[in-house]
Structure 1
Amino acid sequence: MAYVVTEACIKCKYTDCVEVCPVDCFHEGPNFLVIDPDECIDCTLCVAECPAEAIFAEEDVPDAQQAFIALNAELARAWPVIVHRKDPLPDHEDWLKVKDKLQYLDKNG
């Protein structure tokens, strides 16, 4: 079982989680982070670090967010690894509590 970044991360992209990951399994896209399920060791350290509460154990991903399991695996193959914390996106506070953000996911930059 791996951990999964879900919709709450879109357009916020806090990176507090990457600093605590012991296996560098986070990958960075233009406005979202994903976890490589093949690298994740299920340590749970990232969950508490996410201000957006966007990270779930695969078995606990909410029903409406199930597509993010495959999306994390797909995008982890395409995006570069991120290992150091960066500032969140400039308008992150405006997007933090917004729901239904999948339409804003930028896969290409």
Structure 2
Amino acid sequence: MAFVITSPCIAELAADCVEVCPVDCIVKGEDQYFIDPEVCIDCGACETACPVEAIYHEEEMLEEDIVFVEKAKSFFNI
């Protein structure tokens, strides 16, 4: 996984990230958006576009947000 969408997305669902993604790797789940790691090209456009700062590179995530890595893996059956 490169970029992961975390808890602020659940309340917002703004979708600004979807609009700027050049490879359409962001998918809406039941309660938040998810980034497909098999399609993502690691460009970072989504991270800068997110109005609630919900997107982090996996290596820069806070410890309490690691659960969102597992949530994304489960969503994509990885």
**Is the pair's TM-score, using the shorter chain for normalization, greater than 0.5?**
yes
Number of residues of Structure 1 aligned to a counterpart in Structure 2: 77
What is residue 24 of structure 1 aligned with on the other side?
A: 24
Structure 1 residue 70: deviation in Å? 1.7
Distance 1:64 1:9 in 2: 15
Q: Considering fraction of residues, name the structure with more strand.
A: 2
Distance 1:29 1:8 in 2: 14
TM-score (norm 1): 0.65
Indicate the RMSD between aligned Cα atoms, in angstroms. Answer: 1.3
Instruction: Spell out, residue by residue over 1:35-82, the C-alpha distance to the aligned partner (whole angstroms, 9 max, x if none).
Output: 1111111100011110110000011111000011121122245xxxxx
Matched, 1:34 2:34: yes
Instruction: Spell out, residue by residue over 1:69-103, the C-alpha distance to the aligned partner (whole angstroms, 9 max, x if none).
Output: 121122245xxxxxxxxxxxxxxxxxxxxxxxxxx
Identity rate of aligned residues, in percent? Answer: 43
Which structure 1 segments of 5+ residues have no match? 78-109
Higher gyration radius (CA): 1
Q: AA paired with 2:43? A: C
8 Å Cα contact 1:2/1:57 also seen in 2: yes
Runs of 4+ in 1 over 3 A off after TM superposition: none
**Mapping of residues 1-109 of structure 1, within 5 Å:** 1-77=1-77
Distance 1:67 1:36 in 2: 16
Which structure 2 segments of 5+ residues have no match? none
Distance 2:21 2:76 in 1: 15
